[in-house]
Structures are given as structure tokens and as C-alpha cells.
Amino acid sequence: MKFLIDENLSDKLVARLDAAYPGTKHVKQVDLSSHADTDLWELAKKDGYIILTQDDDFVELSMMRGAPPKVIHLAMGNHTTKEWLAIIQSNAVAVSYFAADPDTGLLVLR
């Protein structure tokens, strides 16, 4: 399992998440900063990423298009990188089950 981290989250998360989720990338690393959400969607779908985002638009895309790719929506306002890391780590079991479930395309963490 690997994440494609949307631009609304810090690229510093990559280094902190890569050990647990090898292959994780930020949109900056794949030259998709300021691109349309559909461009990120297509890359994630093609390369097997789970989109990690705060952006409600990805929730809508997930509802309209279904998976893949899967989307993890961090629906809890703004946090520091350290806080986001703690939130993701504290939900590691839910994230793991979500990633393994072929019938679920959206995980909302509140």
C-alpha cells in the first residue's frame, strides 16, 4: 500500500510515512502540483496509489467514479504535519483493513 499525498497536505509527510507505506509520493514529486484533481485521480488509478487528501472534491470523485483508486479523506480541519502523522498512525489498523477491502473505495477519518 502506498499513498499519493494531495497538495493540501505537506510533502514532509512522505519521509515520515514511507517506512510504513513504501512508495508513498507527494504530488510535487510526480509533477502534478496545481493540476486538476482528475489528473491525480488518473495517476493514482494507473500506478496503484491510495489518495490521501483533505479535499472534498476527491470524495465526490470517489462517489461518482468508484475505486480504483481508493481515497482516504482526512475530514478534520487543518493540523500540523506532526499531528497528521499521529492521526494516520493511530488509524493504521483501519487504513490497513480499508486497503485490503476490494469493495470499499472511500475511508473518511474524522
| pLDDT tens, position by position, 45-69 | 999 999 999 999 999 999 999 999 9
| Distance separating alpha carbons of residues 83 and 87, to the nearest angstrom | 6
| Distance separating alpha carbons of residues 34 and 42, to the nearest angstrom | 15
- Let me know the angle formed at the C-alpha of 25 by 23 and 26, rounded to the nearest 5 degrees: 170
Taking only Cα atoms into account, the Rg of the chain, rounded to an integer number of angstroms, comes to 12
pTM of the model: 0.96
Q: Which of 51, 53, 39, 41 is nearest to 9 (CA)?
A: 53
Tell me the domain boundaries of the chain: 3-109
Write the pLDDT tens digit of every residue in 18-38: 999 999 999 999 999 999 999
